[in-house]
Amino acid sequence: QVQLVESGGGLVQAGGSLGLSCAASGRTFSTLTMGWFRQAPGKEREFVSSISRGGGVTYYADSVKGRFTISRDNVKNTVYLQMNSLKPEDTAVYYCAAVPGTIGISGRRYPRDYDSWGQGTQVTVSS
């Protein structure tokens, strides 16, 4: 099992930027496909972005494409999510997820595709 710890959430005004980090331990990080999901109150957990083991392949939800950037550092065992041009509808708890293996052609876009989760970090965007 992989342990994941997110950090970097907070309160930001619409149009602002925020960066999230997720530190992994317990397994060789470079063997893991990593993902970011979010869950707003009363809504299901939804896919935000995913990144392949080497970092060369990324996927994004249409709602964040062009505004969010996922990246990873396989030396620091950390995955990042840089969020720019934030909107109130981006308000949610953001979760980091991990799964051993390839990202696949589907991009690991579903919560069931992952077997390890962080505790989540709150992101609130005020209008």
pLDDT tens for the chain, residues 1 to 127? 899 999 999 999 999 999 999 999 999 999 999 999 999 999 999 999 999 999 999 999 999 999 999 999 999 999 999 999 999 999 999 999 999 999 999 999 999 999 999 999 999 999 9
Which pLDDT score is estimated for 45? 98
Which pLDDT score is estimated for 46? 98
State the distance between the two ends of the chain, measured CA to CA, in whole angstroms: 39
* Contacts of residue 105, Cβ cutoff 8 Å, sequence gap at least 6: none
Sheet containing 68-73, strands listed edge to edge, beginning at the edge strand earlier in sequence: 3-7, 18-25, 78-83, 68-73
Beta strand 3-7 with 18-25 is antiparallel
Which pLDDT score is estimated for 1? 83
Measured CA to CA, the distance from residue 83 to residue 71 in angstroms comes to 12
Measured CA to CA, the distance from residue 124 to residue 91 in angstroms comes to 5
Alpha-carbon torsion angle 69, 20, 4, 115, nearest 10: -40
Amino acid 7 reads S
